[in-house]
Amino acid sequence: MMIPLFLFGWNAMGQSYLQAGLVNQFYKSRQQALFWFALDTDAAPLRQELLSLLDSAAFHGLDSDRYHLKEMRTWPASPGGSNVSWQRQKDEWLTDAAIAYLKSLREGTGIYEQVSYDGVSSSYNVEEDNLLLEGLSRVRTADQLRALAATLIPASAAYDTLRAGLLQALTAGDRQKIRQLSPALNLYRWIHHHPFPRCIVVNIASASLSYYEQDTVRLRMKVVVGKPSTRTPRFAAWCDQLILYPYWNVPHKIAVNEFLPVFRKSPSLVDVMNMQLLDGKGKIVDPLKIDWSRLNKDNFPYALRQSTGCDNALGVLKFNLTSPYDVYMHDTNFKNAFQSAYRYYSHGCIRVEKPFELANAIMGEKLDTTFLAAGLKDQQPRPLRLENPVPVFVVYLNADIDADGKLRSYRDIYHLLK
Protein backbone atom coordinates (compact mmCIF):
# COMPACT_ATOMS: atom_id res chain seq x y z
CA MET A 1 0.00 0.00 0.00
CA MET A 2 1.37 3.42 -0.98
CA ILE A 3 1.76 5.87 1.92
CA PRO A 4 0.64 9.40 0.96
CA LEU A 5 3.62 11.75 0.82
CA PHE A 6 1.71 14.52 2.62
CA LEU A 7 1.91 12.46 5.81
CA PHE A 8 5.62 13.28 5.79
CA GLY A 9 5.02 16.93 4.82
CA TRP A 10 6.76 16.53 1.45
CA ASN A 11 5.51 16.36 -2.11
CA ALA A 12 6.61 14.24 -5.05
CA MET A 13 9.40 16.62 -6.00
CA GLY A 14 10.92 16.63 -2.53
CA GLN A 15 9.47 20.03 -1.63
CA SER A 16 7.64 20.87 1.53
CA TYR A 17 3.85 20.88 1.51
CA LEU A 18 2.27 24.20 2.41
CA GLN A 19 -0.78 22.75 4.16
CA ALA A 20 0.13 19.14 4.95
CA GLY A 21 -2.37 18.82 7.81
CA LEU A 22 -5.29 20.08 5.74
CA VAL A 23 -4.27 17.94 2.76
CA ASN A 24 -4.36 14.93 5.08
CA GLN A 25 -7.76 15.95 6.40
CA PHE A 26 -9.10 16.47 2.88
CA TYR A 27 -8.16 13.00 1.61
CA LYS A 28 -9.24 11.35 4.83
CA SER A 29 -12.75 12.77 4.31
CA ARG A 30 -12.67 11.28 0.78
CA GLN A 31 -11.43 7.85 1.93
CA GLN A 32 -8.18 8.69 0.09
CA ALA A 33 -9.96 8.98 -3.28
CA LEU A 34 -8.34 11.17 -5.93
CA PHE A 35 -9.83 14.60 -6.58
CA TRP A 36 -8.14 16.31 -9.54
CA PHE A 37 -8.03 13.02 -11.47
CA ALA A 38 -11.36 11.69 -10.19
CA LEU A 39 -13.73 10.06 -12.65
CA ASP A 40 -16.79 11.99 -11.38
CA THR A 41 -15.34 15.42 -12.22
CA ASP A 42 -14.56 17.32 -15.38
CA ALA A 43 -10.94 16.64 -14.44
CA ALA A 44 -8.77 18.23 -17.14
CA PRO A 45 -10.63 21.61 -17.25
CA LEU A 46 -10.73 21.60 -13.43
CA ARG A 47 -6.96 21.21 -13.23
CA GLN A 48 -6.49 23.90 -15.86
CA GLU A 49 -8.74 26.30 -13.95
CA LEU A 50 -6.62 25.86 -10.83
CA LEU A 51 -3.48 26.67 -12.82
CA SER A 52 -5.21 29.74 -14.26
CA LEU A 53 -6.20 30.93 -10.78
CA LEU A 54 -2.66 30.48 -9.52
CA ASP A 55 -1.31 32.26 -12.58
CA SER A 56 -3.39 35.33 -11.69
CA ALA A 57 -2.41 35.31 -7.99
CA ALA A 58 -0.47 38.57 -8.34
CA PHE A 59 -3.77 40.38 -9.01
CA HIS A 60 -4.61 39.73 -5.34
CA GLY A 61 -1.19 40.60 -3.95
CA LEU A 62 -0.03 36.97 -3.92
CA ASP A 63 3.03 35.22 -5.32
CA SER A 64 2.15 32.50 -7.85
CA ASP A 65 5.41 30.67 -7.24
CA ARG A 66 4.44 30.13 -3.61
CA TYR A 67 1.76 27.68 -4.77
CA HIS A 68 4.06 25.36 -6.77
CA LEU A 69 2.95 26.90 -10.09
CA LYS A 70 6.41 27.08 -11.63
CA GLU A 71 7.07 23.42 -10.83
CA MET A 72 3.66 22.25 -12.01
CA ARG A 73 4.17 24.01 -15.35
CA THR A 74 7.21 21.81 -15.95
CA TRP A 75 5.86 18.49 -14.68
CA PRO A 76 7.49 15.56 -16.45
CA ALA A 77 5.20 13.06 -18.10
CA SER A 78 4.23 10.20 -15.81
CA PRO A 79 5.99 6.90 -16.48
CA GLY A 80 3.95 4.89 -18.97
CA GLY A 81 1.40 7.71 -19.22
CA SER A 82 -0.98 6.20 -16.64
CA ASN A 83 1.16 5.38 -13.66
CA VAL A 84 -1.16 5.34 -10.63
CA SER A 85 1.51 6.33 -8.13
CA TRP A 86 2.59 9.37 -10.16
CA GLN A 87 -1.03 10.40 -10.68
CA ARG A 88 -1.59 10.16 -6.95
CA GLN A 89 1.39 12.39 -6.22
CA LYS A 90 0.17 14.97 -8.72
CA ASP A 91 -3.28 14.91 -7.12
CA GLU A 92 -1.85 15.61 -3.66
CA TRP A 93 0.30 18.42 -4.95
CA LEU A 94 -2.63 20.09 -6.71
CA THR A 95 -4.70 19.79 -3.55
CA ASP A 96 -1.95 21.39 -1.47
CA ALA A 97 -1.67 24.26 -3.95
CA ALA A 98 -5.45 24.74 -4.06
CA ILE A 99 -5.91 24.77 -0.29
CA ALA A 100 -2.99 27.14 0.25
CA TYR A 101 -4.20 29.51 -2.45
CA LEU A 102 -7.82 29.52 -1.29
CA LYS A 103 -6.70 30.17 2.30
CA SER A 104 -4.59 33.08 1.06
CA LEU A 105 -7.56 34.49 -0.85
CA ARG A 106 -9.69 34.24 2.26
CA GLU A 107 -7.33 35.45 4.98
CA GLY A 108 -4.28 36.94 3.30
CA THR A 109 -0.72 35.68 3.41
CA GLY A 110 2.49 36.93 4.99
CA ILE A 111 0.42 38.25 7.90
CA TYR A 112 2.86 37.19 10.58
CA GLU A 113 5.61 39.07 8.84
CA GLN A 114 3.46 42.17 9.29
CA VAL A 115 2.12 41.67 12.83
CA SER A 116 4.04 40.38 15.83
CA TYR A 117 1.06 39.12 17.86
CA ASP A 118 -2.38 37.79 16.94
CA GLY A 119 -4.62 37.08 19.89
CA VAL A 120 -7.79 37.09 17.78
CA SER A 121 -7.64 34.63 14.87
CA SER A 122 -6.80 31.34 16.56
CA SER A 123 -10.27 30.67 17.94
CA TYR A 124 -11.71 30.78 14.40
CA ASN A 125 -9.07 28.86 12.44
CA VAL A 126 -10.42 25.32 12.77
CA GLU A 127 -13.98 26.23 11.83
CA GLU A 128 -12.85 28.36 8.89
CA ASP A 129 -10.54 25.62 7.58
CA ASN A 130 -13.30 23.02 7.84
CA LEU A 131 -15.64 25.25 5.82
CA LEU A 132 -12.96 25.74 3.18
CA LEU A 133 -12.36 21.99 2.85
CA GLU A 134 -16.09 21.33 2.63
CA GLY A 135 -16.41 23.93 -0.11
CA LEU A 136 -13.53 22.46 -2.10
CA SER A 137 -14.84 18.90 -1.72
CA ARG A 138 -18.11 19.93 -3.45
CA VAL A 139 -16.32 21.26 -6.51
CA ARG A 140 -16.76 19.19 -9.68
CA THR A 141 -16.17 21.67 -12.52
CA ALA A 142 -13.95 24.57 -13.46
CA ASP A 143 -16.86 27.00 -13.06
CA GLN A 144 -17.52 25.76 -9.53
CA LEU A 145 -13.85 26.19 -8.56
CA ARG A 146 -13.84 29.72 -9.97
CA ALA A 147 -17.05 30.50 -8.06
CA LEU A 148 -15.60 29.12 -4.81
CA ALA A 149 -12.54 31.36 -5.15
CA ALA A 150 -14.77 34.38 -5.81
CA THR A 151 -16.73 33.80 -2.58
CA LEU A 152 -13.52 34.10 -0.55
CA ILE A 153 -12.68 37.59 -1.79
CA PRO A 154 -14.09 40.52 0.24
CA ALA A 155 -17.15 42.05 -1.39
CA SER A 156 -16.46 45.69 -0.61
CA ALA A 157 -15.78 48.90 -2.50
CA ALA A 158 -12.65 49.48 -0.42
CA TYR A 159 -11.15 46.15 -1.43
CA ASP A 160 -12.09 46.73 -5.06
CA THR A 161 -10.35 50.12 -4.99
CA LEU A 162 -7.20 48.65 -3.46
CA ARG A 163 -7.20 45.86 -6.03
CA ALA A 164 -7.77 48.26 -8.91
CA GLY A 165 -4.76 50.23 -7.71
CA LEU A 166 -2.67 47.06 -7.65
CA LEU A 167 -3.75 46.08 -11.16
CA GLN A 168 -2.75 49.52 -12.39
CA ALA A 169 0.63 49.26 -10.63
CA LEU A 170 1.25 45.80 -12.11
CA THR A 171 0.42 47.06 -15.59
CA ALA A 172 2.75 50.02 -15.17
CA GLY A 173 5.48 47.97 -13.52
CA ASP A 174 5.44 50.37 -10.54
CA ARG A 175 7.34 48.35 -7.95
CA GLN A 176 6.93 50.92 -5.20
CA LYS A 177 3.14 50.84 -5.52
CA ILE A 178 3.16 47.05 -5.70
CA ARG A 179 5.16 46.92 -2.45
CA GLN A 180 2.53 49.14 -0.85
CA LEU A 181 -0.63 47.55 -2.23
CA SER A 182 0.16 43.84 -2.01
CA PRO A 183 0.54 43.87 1.80
CA ALA A 184 -2.49 46.15 2.07
CA LEU A 185 -4.71 43.67 0.20
CA ASN A 186 -3.49 40.79 2.35
CA LEU A 187 -4.03 42.70 5.58
CA TYR A 188 -7.49 43.77 4.42
CA ARG A 189 -8.48 40.16 3.75
CA TRP A 190 -7.06 39.04 7.09
CA ILE A 191 -8.95 41.67 9.05
CA HIS A 192 -12.27 41.46 7.25
CA HIS A 193 -12.66 37.74 6.65
CA HIS A 194 -13.51 37.28 10.34
CA PRO A 195 -17.25 37.18 11.11
CA PHE A 196 -17.05 40.09 13.57
CA PRO A 197 -20.12 42.32 13.94
CA ARG A 198 -17.70 45.16 14.73
CA CYS A 199 -13.99 45.86 14.97
CA ILE A 200 -11.45 48.65 15.32
CA VAL A 201 -8.59 49.12 12.86
CA VAL A 202 -5.69 51.42 13.73
CA ASN A 203 -3.46 52.28 10.79
CA ILE A 204 -0.09 53.38 12.13
CA ALA A 205 1.11 54.69 8.78
CA SER A 206 -1.82 57.10 8.38
CA ALA A 207 -2.12 57.74 12.14
CA SER A 208 -5.85 57.08 11.95
CA LEU A 209 -8.51 54.83 13.45
CA SER A 210 -11.61 53.32 11.84
CA TYR A 211 -14.47 51.73 13.76
CA TYR A 212 -16.39 49.17 11.68
CA GLU A 213 -19.84 47.69 12.07
CA GLN A 214 -20.63 44.87 9.62
CA ASP A 215 -17.65 45.90 7.46
CA THR A 216 -18.92 49.48 7.19
CA VAL A 217 -16.92 52.34 8.71
CA ARG A 218 -19.14 54.06 11.28
CA LEU A 219 -16.54 56.29 12.90
CA ARG A 220 -13.18 57.70 11.83
CA MET A 221 -10.68 59.69 13.81
CA LYS A 222 -7.06 60.72 14.02
CA VAL A 223 -4.66 59.04 16.41
CA VAL A 224 -1.19 59.77 17.72
CA VAL A 225 1.11 56.75 17.57
CA GLY A 226 4.68 55.88 18.47
CA LYS A 227 7.74 57.79 17.37
CA PRO A 228 10.06 55.98 14.95
CA SER A 229 12.37 55.41 17.94
CA THR A 230 9.52 54.03 20.11
CA ARG A 231 7.29 52.33 17.56
CA THR A 232 3.75 51.25 18.17
CA PRO A 233 3.78 47.45 17.80
CA ARG A 234 1.61 45.76 15.16
CA PHE A 235 -0.84 43.24 16.59
CA ALA A 236 -4.41 42.00 16.95
CA ALA A 237 -6.02 41.87 20.39
CA TRP A 238 -9.32 42.47 22.18
CA CYS A 239 -10.56 45.63 23.81
CA ASP A 240 -12.09 43.99 26.85
CA GLN A 241 -12.70 46.94 29.16
CA LEU A 242 -12.75 50.70 29.47
CA ILE A 243 -11.20 52.42 32.46
CA LEU A 244 -12.68 55.74 33.50
CA TYR A 245 -10.23 58.11 35.18
CA PRO A 246 -7.24 55.79 34.77
CA TYR A 247 -3.89 56.09 36.49
CA TRP A 248 -0.93 56.37 34.20
CA ASN A 249 1.42 53.73 35.49
CA VAL A 250 4.66 55.04 34.03
CA PRO A 251 6.79 52.29 32.45
CA HIS A 252 10.02 51.85 34.40
CA LYS A 253 12.20 52.75 31.42
CA ILE A 254 10.39 56.06 30.97
CA ALA A 255 10.41 56.71 34.72
CA VAL A 256 14.19 56.37 35.09
CA ASN A 257 15.23 57.90 31.77
CA GLU A 258 12.85 60.84 31.56
CA PHE A 259 11.39 61.64 34.97
CA LEU A 260 14.17 60.68 37.39
CA PRO A 261 16.65 63.33 36.12
CA VAL A 262 13.94 65.99 36.46
CA PHE A 263 12.87 64.94 39.95
CA ARG A 264 16.46 64.70 41.20
CA LYS A 265 16.86 68.39 40.42
CA SER A 266 13.47 69.44 41.76
CA PRO A 267 11.57 66.86 43.88
CA SER A 268 8.64 69.25 44.27
CA LEU A 269 7.79 68.65 40.61
CA VAL A 270 6.46 65.23 41.58
CA ASP A 271 3.43 66.92 43.11
CA VAL A 272 3.28 69.68 40.50
CA MET A 273 3.01 67.05 37.76
CA ASN A 274 0.37 65.16 39.73
CA MET A 275 2.72 62.17 40.10
CA GLN A 276 2.91 59.64 42.88
CA LEU A 277 5.83 57.48 44.02
CA LEU A 278 4.93 54.02 45.30
CA ASP A 279 7.17 51.75 47.33
CA GLY A 280 7.35 47.98 46.98
CA LYS A 281 4.15 47.58 49.03
CA GLY A 282 2.18 50.06 46.91
CA LYS A 283 2.30 52.77 49.57
CA ILE A 284 2.62 56.40 48.45
CA VAL A 285 5.97 57.92 49.42
CA ASP A 286 6.55 61.64 50.14
CA PRO A 287 9.02 62.84 47.46
CA LEU A 288 10.46 65.46 49.83
CA LYS A 289 11.59 62.73 52.22
CA ILE A 290 13.62 60.85 49.61
CA ASP A 291 17.39 61.24 49.26
CA TRP A 292 17.34 61.75 45.49
CA SER A 293 21.13 62.07 45.26
CA ARG A 294 21.43 58.33 45.95
CA LEU A 295 19.07 57.32 43.14
CA ASN A 296 19.97 56.53 39.53
CA LYS A 297 18.45 54.52 36.70
CA ASP A 298 20.03 51.33 38.05
CA ASN A 299 18.87 52.06 41.58
CA PHE A 300 15.29 53.31 41.54
CA PRO A 301 13.11 51.22 43.85
CA TYR A 302 9.85 53.08 43.26
CA ALA A 303 6.95 52.74 40.87
CA LEU A 304 5.78 55.99 39.36
CA ARG A 305 2.21 56.79 38.44
CA GLN A 306 0.25 59.87 37.53
CA SER A 307 -2.91 60.48 39.48
CA THR A 308 -6.28 60.75 37.80
CA GLY A 309 -7.87 63.87 36.36
CA CYS A 310 -7.87 66.12 33.34
CA ASP A 311 -4.08 66.66 33.44
CA ASN A 312 -3.35 62.92 33.35
CA ALA A 313 -1.37 61.85 30.27
CA LEU A 314 -4.08 59.24 29.56
CA GLY A 315 -6.82 61.82 29.87
CA VAL A 316 -9.95 60.46 31.51
CA LEU A 317 -10.47 57.28 29.47
CA LYS A 318 -8.37 54.23 28.69
CA PHE A 319 -9.24 51.36 26.31
CA ASN A 320 -7.56 48.24 27.63
CA LEU A 321 -6.10 45.83 25.06
CA THR A 322 -5.30 42.17 25.71
CA SER A 323 -1.90 42.17 24.03
CA PRO A 324 1.45 41.20 25.57
CA TYR A 325 2.64 44.78 25.12
CA ASP A 326 2.24 47.65 27.55
CA VAL A 327 0.28 49.44 24.83
CA TYR A 328 -3.35 50.57 24.77
CA MET A 329 -5.62 53.25 23.34
CA HIS A 330 -6.44 56.27 25.47
CA ASP A 331 -7.65 59.83 25.74
CA THR A 332 -5.01 62.53 26.15
CA ASN A 333 -4.60 65.85 27.91
CA PHE A 334 -2.69 67.19 24.90
CA LYS A 335 -5.32 67.66 22.21
CA ASN A 336 -3.30 69.99 20.00
CA ALA A 337 -1.30 67.07 18.60
CA PHE A 338 -4.33 66.03 16.55
CA GLN A 339 -4.07 69.25 14.56
CA SER A 340 -0.73 68.19 13.15
CA ALA A 341 -0.30 66.16 9.96
CA TYR A 342 2.67 64.46 11.64
CA ARG A 343 1.26 62.46 14.55
CA TYR A 344 4.11 60.19 15.65
CA TYR A 345 4.86 61.44 19.15
CA SER A 346 4.04 58.71 21.67
CA HIS A 347 6.13 56.08 23.41
CA GLY A 348 4.06 53.43 21.62
CA CYS A 349 0.54 53.85 22.99
CA ILE A 350 -2.31 55.09 20.81
CA ARG A 351 -3.92 58.42 21.68
CA VAL A 352 -7.38 58.74 20.15
CA GLU A 353 -8.95 61.98 18.96
CA LYS A 354 -12.56 61.16 19.86
CA PRO A 355 -12.45 58.84 22.89
CA PHE A 356 -16.00 59.54 24.05
CA GLU A 357 -17.49 58.83 20.62
CA LEU A 358 -15.50 55.61 20.31
CA ALA A 359 -16.46 54.51 23.82
CA ASN A 360 -20.14 55.17 23.19
CA ALA A 361 -19.97 53.23 19.94
CA ILE A 362 -18.58 50.10 21.57
CA MET A 363 -20.60 50.52 24.78
CA GLY A 364 -23.90 51.24 23.04
CA GLU A 365 -24.33 54.84 24.24
CA LYS A 366 -24.04 53.86 27.90
CA LEU A 367 -21.16 56.13 28.89
CA ASP A 368 -21.63 59.03 31.29
CA THR A 369 -19.66 61.56 29.27
CA THR A 370 -20.69 64.45 31.55
CA PHE A 371 -18.88 62.78 34.44
CA LEU A 372 -15.80 62.31 32.26
CA ALA A 373 -15.85 65.75 30.68
CA ALA A 374 -15.72 67.29 34.17
CA GLY A 375 -12.10 66.11 34.45
CA LEU A 376 -12.35 65.64 38.19
CA LYS A 377 -9.14 65.22 40.17
CA ASP A 378 -8.20 62.29 42.38
CA GLN A 379 -11.00 60.02 41.22
CA GLN A 380 -10.55 56.32 41.76
CA PRO A 381 -10.19 54.49 38.43
CA ARG A 382 -13.45 52.84 37.42
CA PRO A 383 -13.20 49.80 35.12
CA LEU A 384 -16.12 48.94 32.84
CA ARG A 385 -15.88 45.44 31.41
CA LEU A 386 -17.33 44.96 27.94
CA GLU A 387 -19.92 42.21 27.68
CA ASN A 388 -18.78 41.66 24.09
CA PRO A 389 -15.09 42.51 23.67
CA VAL A 390 -14.19 44.25 20.42
CA PRO A 391 -11.30 43.04 18.23
CA VAL A 392 -8.64 45.67 17.58
CA PHE A 393 -6.21 45.39 14.66
CA VAL A 394 -3.15 47.64 14.86
CA VAL A 395 -1.51 47.48 11.43
CA TYR A 396 0.82 49.37 9.14
CA LEU A 397 -0.84 50.20 5.81
CA ASN A 398 1.11 52.44 3.47
CA ALA A 399 -1.86 52.28 1.09
CA ASP A 400 -5.42 52.60 2.33
CA ILE A 401 -8.84 54.02 1.47
CA ASP A 402 -9.72 57.44 2.88
CA ALA A 403 -13.10 58.79 4.00
CA ASP A 404 -13.96 59.73 0.41
CA GLY A 405 -13.30 56.21 -0.85
CA LYS A 406 -10.09 57.28 -2.58
CA LEU A 407 -6.85 55.32 -2.62
CA ARG A 408 -4.19 57.08 -0.54
CA SER A 409 -0.49 56.41 -0.07
CA TYR A 410 1.26 57.18 3.21
CA ARG A 411 4.84 57.84 4.15
CA ASP A 412 6.86 54.84 5.30
CA ILE A 413 7.52 56.48 8.64
CA TYR A 414 8.89 53.27 10.26
CA HIS A 415 10.87 52.21 7.16
CA LEU A 416 9.15 48.83 6.98
CA LEU A 417 8.54 48.51 3.24
CA LYS A 418 10.74 45.88 1.60
pTM of the full predicted structure?
0.89
268 — pLDDT class (breaks 50, 70, 90): very high
Give the per-residue pLDDT at 61: 96
pLDDT at 170 > cutoff 60: yes
Give me the chain's average pLDDT, please: 90
What number of H helices and E strands is found in the chain? 14, 16
| 306/225: higher pLDDT | 225
pLDDT at 101 > cutoff 80: yes
pLDDT at 7 > cutoff 80: no
Which residue stretches of 3-141 are H helix?
A: 20-29, 43-55, 69-73, 84-107, 111-114, 122-137
| 14/283: higher pLDDT | 283
76 — pLDDT class (breaks 50, 70, 90): low
Average pLDDT, integer, range 154-159: 92
Per-residue model confidence as pLDDT tens digits over 120-138 = 998 788 999 999 999 999 9
Between CA 234 and CA 321 the distance in angstroms is: 13
Query: DSSP assignment of 386-408, as one string?
Result: EEEEEEEEEE--SEEE-TTS-EE
Q: Are strands 198-203 and 382-395 parallel, antiparallel or unpaired?
A: parallel
